[in-house]
Amino acid sequence: MLVILLLITLLAPHLTAYAPREQNLRNRLSPPTAEHPLGTDMYGRDLLSRLLYGGRISLAVGLLSMIIAVVVGTLVGALSGYYGGWMDHVLVRFTEVVMAFPLILLALTALALVGSSVIYLILIIGLTAWPVTARLVRGEFLRLRNQDFVQAARAVGGGDGQIIFRHLLPNALGPMVVTATLGVAGAVLLEAALSYLGIGVQPPTPSWGNILYEGQRYLRAGAWWYTVFPGMTIFLTVLSINLVGDALRDSFDPRQRL
């Protein structure tokens, strides 16, 4: 399911004959037809085209923001778990302060201050979603840092950087991959929520969230396709990512192989 969703968004120009901003006011709010399989929106734009191109933005925000979150969280967690002491205390307190605020509240405040754009959206989600990864990496480093292979690496003259990146980090990679995968689903949902609230991706650039917001205004007018199809797209995407994350978690869990 996830592979299909990724492919159809990447191949969007070959799957639809309409540009996502191409208007036809004579054909506004048209139900699904052979010409427009998912109907049209309030400006007569093809909804299938807008969902496909909007998927590029929504998925890109989810993937890129989670890459930023994983990089920042890994650095914070690795330094905290490896060195311990005052550094661990300071970084743990800072992580807890960030986690004390709801993620959507932090994103709302930041976007209100710097303005709405896709780049800002990616950076803000990435720079507010890292504490989960940081706590996970810290826990793994605390568990691994006194293992025999780490002591052996120190004994042969391995530096801190070598031990962290060549010995400890690869052994913590499994849980990190699972957390990052599940985090992508959360980032896609957060982008949709922010765009729905009007401070994420701004029209006429399509994203699943702002298409859903536009459609809910015409739901009572009978334009059910305007909200059902964006909602189902978000649902299927998040479901497929979560299923992949659950499968990865099971495959990396040694208890599942007993």
Residue 258 above 70 pLDDT?
A: no
Q: Please name every residue paired with 46 in a beta bridge, in sequence order, or none if there are none.
A: 40
**What are the structure tokens assigned to 186, written together?**
């959360």
What is the rounded average pLDDT of the residues 233-257?
80
pLDDT digits (tens, 9 = 90+) for 159-188: 878 888 888 888 888 788 888 888 888 888
Closest to 226 measured CA to CA, from 236, 248, 211: 211
- What is the model's pLDDT at position 255? 54
Question: How would residue 236 be classed by pLDDT, with cut points 50, 70 and 90?
Answer: very high
Question: Is pLDDT of 232 > 90?
Answer: yes
Neighbours of 231 (CB within 10 A): 16
Decide: 69 and 130 in contact? Cβ < 8 Å.
Answer: yes
Domains in the chain, start-ordered, CATH in brackets?
Answer: 2-12+46-252 (1.10.3720.10)
The predicted pLDDT at position 257 comes to 54
pLDDT for position 245: 84
The Cα–Cα gap between 66 and 73 comes to 10
- Determine the 3-state secondary structure of 46 from DSSP: strand
Helix orientation angle between 47-83 and 118-128, rounded to the nearest 10 degrees: 30
Q: At residue 254, does pLDDT exceed 70?
A: no
Token representation of residue 27:
């054909």
What per-residue confidence (pLDDT) applies to 197?
Answer: 82
Is it the case that residue 81 has pLDDT exceeding 60? yes
3-state class of 40 per DSSP? Answer: strand
Q: How confident is the model at residue 233 (pLDDT cuts 50, 70, 90)?
A: very high
pLDDT at residue 155 above 80?
yes
Q: Please state, as a whole number, how many other Cβ atoms lie within 10 Å of the Cβ of residue 185.
A: 20
- Find, among 193, 204, 189, the residue nearest to 41 by Cα: 204
Q: In DSSP terms, which residues pair with 40 in a beta bridge?
A: 46
pLDDT, tens digit, 9 for 90 and up, residues 36-78: 899 899 998 999 999 999 998 889 988 999 999 999 999 999 9
pLDDT reported for residue 154: 81
Cα 112 from Cα 63, distance rounded (Å): 23
Torsion, Cα 59 63 68 70, to 10 degrees, reads 140
Task: Over range 102-119, report the average pLDDT.
Answer: 81
Q: What is the pLDDT of residue 69?
A: 92
DSSP letters, 71-124, are HHHHHHHHHHHHH-HHHHHHHHHHHHHHHHS-HHHHHHHHHHHH---HHHHHHH
